[in-house]
Amino acid sequence: MSDVVDRDSLVPLYQQLEEIFRARIASGEWAPSQRIPSENELNRLFGLSRMTVRGVLTKLTADGLLVRVQGKGTYVAPDKITAVSPAYQGIREQLEVLGYDISTELVSLVCEPAPTRVRERLRLPPGALVFAIVRLRSVDGQPLSVHRSFVPADLAPTLDRLDVVGEQLCVVLESAFDLAMHDVAESLEAVAVTATDAELLHLQPRDPVLQLTDVISDAAGGAFEYSTIVFRGDRMRLSFDYSKR
């Protein structure tokens, strides 16, 4: 494909420019995480209006191919990490198998009255206490996800004394308290990141993120964990497979 727009073509200029940019990304000429030329440079290179160039960059950003960083410029989006739902295999375990350098930071671990949404999903009585655990997971030194887990304190009374950073929480709950995952009610949605999570994930408040919510139950149907995982949408892709039986 030519890197020059054809003003005599029936194909609109903005469409030609978009195809050129997509080709540069696909070929690796513009590599993942690389800063691309500024709008002014692109205006000059292609002889097009700033509005045309900006419109194409905006579309490719919306499509997830480019990322704009305030005060720094526009970058090719980094390659996304693909994982399956943690209901099948823990995110940490999956990333380690893929060869990523994983680190987990304990942001907070407190015993508190269950928030309303947690109490309702875990079917707890008013005033019930839960351990609220917040962890930040990073991949290759860059923040990827914020994990919030709520576990009824009466089901795991010594949870705050155990290692929930070096060990996966599901392993701790099963080995120490016989709370084994049997059923998972799960939902995934795109939401605007909160100010708190934006700071942890190095995002701007209201940036879009992926939020995965799980309610985990044992074989008897007793719900023992409510969790949310907020992923950077520009770095993470979740894969769901379905096989009809």
pLDDT tens track for 60-106: 988 878 888 888 899 998 777 777 677 666 777 777 777 778 899 99
> Please, what is the average pLDDT of the chain?
89
Whether 6 maps to a domain, the answer reads no
Sign for the pseudo-dihedral over CA of 238, 239, 244, 245: negative
CATH of the domain at 228: 3.40.1410.10
Query: Contact at 8 Å (CB) between 137 and 113?
Result: no
Band (pLDDT 50/70/90 cuts) for residue 123 is very high
Q: Are residues 95 and 166 in the same domain?
A: yes
Q: Are residues 193 and 165 in the same domain?
A: yes
Q: Are residues 29 and 132 in the same domain?
A: no
Q: Give Cα 35 distance to the centre of its chain.
A: 22
Q: CA 190, CA 230: separation in Å to the nearest integer?
A: 9
Q: Are residues 31 and 90 in the same domain?
A: no
Query: Contact at 8 Å (CB) between 150 and 119?
Result: no
Question: What is the domain extent for residue 143?
Answer: 81-239
- pLDDT tens track for 153-201: 999 999 999 999 988 899 999 999 999 999 999 998 999 999 999 999 9
pLDDT for 101 equals: 84
Q: Are residues 93 and 67 in the same domain?
A: no
* The three-state (H, E, C) secondary structure of 99-160, written as one string: CCCEEEEEEEEEEEECCHHHHHHHCCCCCCEEEEEEEEEEECCEEEEEEEEEEECCCCCCHH
pLDDT for 196 equals: 96
Whether 57 maps to a domain, the answer reads yes
Whether 225 maps to a domain, the answer reads yes
Q: Structurally, how many domains does the chain consist of?
A: 2
Highest average pLDDT, of 18-32, 60-74, 116-130, comes from 116-130
Other Cβ atoms less than 10 A from the Cβ of 166: the count is: 8
pLDDT for 87 equals: 66
Q: Are residues 71 and 103 in the same domain?
A: no
pLDDT for 68 equals: 85
Whether 186 maps to a domain, the answer reads yes
Whether 217 maps to a domain, the answer reads yes
Point out the domain boundary residue: 31, 56, 76. Answer: 76
Q: Are residues 142 and 175 in the same domain?
A: yes
CA distances from 100 to 93, 97, 142 (A): 10, 8, 11
